[in-house]
């Protein structure tokens, strides 16, 4: 199963996927490309470290979504990889019908809450401020509804009375780093 990772930031979830691949824990899944919408994103440095091609693709003209010329460039770049699975790992753009249609049924996203609770931005902060006792992370299929696609799997994280926003964030990230590679391995048929 050919996997393309899209990300916008430092790439800690992509690194977890690539480390799992290196350790033989992704089964038949194989990351073939990393693509970022940010030219200086840390995720791009992971490519050379793990022997995977990494590239910046210009998302212009919009800042928060893939549409128009930027969407066409992303579709072409991802299509060139012939992916079986497109993984959004910290990709901070809203996908529109063109991209979703080009890779229908092949796009998954990792979200830092137990969806349907706390969709959107600052999910860990939302959960912390609400005072929930359990939060976590979700891998879901991507649809036009932001953070609203069918849930594939979730991992719970208990919120302890002594937790700070920082300690809770670290716990959720640790759960993400375990869940996402496990889901990819399962989808790839181990």
Query: What dotted CATH number matches 2-187?
Result: 3.40.50.170
CA distances from 76 to 22, 72, 103, 129 (A): 27, 6, 11, 41
Q: Is 111 a catalytic residue?
A: yes
Band of pLDDT at residue 189, cut at 50, 70 and 90: confident
pLDDT given at position 190: 62
DSSP one-letter code for 5: E
Assess contact for 88 and 107: CB atoms under 8 A.
yes
pTM: 0.95
Cα separation, 168 vs 22, whole angstroms? 28
Each residue's pLDDT tens digit, 116-127: 999 999 999 999
DSSP one-letter code for 81: T
Each residue's pLDDT tens digit, 3-49: 999 999 999 999 999 999 999 999 999 999 999 999 999 999 999 99
Domains of the chain, by residue range, sit at 2-187
User: Dihedral (C-alpha) 102, 88, 42, 30: value to the nearest 10 degrees?
Assistant: -80
Catalytic pick from 111, 140, 173, 177? Answer: 111
Q: Is the backbone peptide bond immediately before 168 cis, with ω within 30 degrees of 0?
A: no
């Amino acid at each position: 199963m050919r996997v393309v990772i899209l990300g916008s930031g430092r790439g800690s979830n992509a690194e977890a996927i690539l480390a799992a691949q290196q350790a033989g824990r992704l089964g038949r899944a194989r990351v073939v490309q990393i693509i970022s919408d940010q030219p200086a994103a840390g995720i791009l440095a992971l490519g050379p470290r793990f022997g995977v091609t990494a590239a910046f693709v210009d998302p212009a003209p919009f800042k928060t979504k893939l549409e128009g010329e930027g969407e066409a460039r992303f579709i072409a770049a991802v299509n060139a990889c012939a992916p079986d699975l497109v993984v959004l790992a910290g990709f901070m753009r809203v996908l529109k019908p063109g991209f979703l249609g080009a890779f229908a049924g092949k796009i998954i996203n990792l979200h830092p809450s137990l969806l349907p609770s706390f969709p959107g931005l600052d999910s860990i902060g939302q959960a912390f401020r609400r005072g929930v006792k359990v939060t976590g992370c979700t891998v879901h299929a991507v649809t036009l509804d932001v953070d609203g696609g069918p849930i594939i799997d979730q991992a719970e994280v208990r919120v302890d009375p002594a937790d700070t926003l920082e300690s809770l964030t670290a716990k959720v990230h640790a759960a993400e780093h375990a869940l996402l590679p496990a889901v990819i391995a399962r989808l790839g048929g181990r």
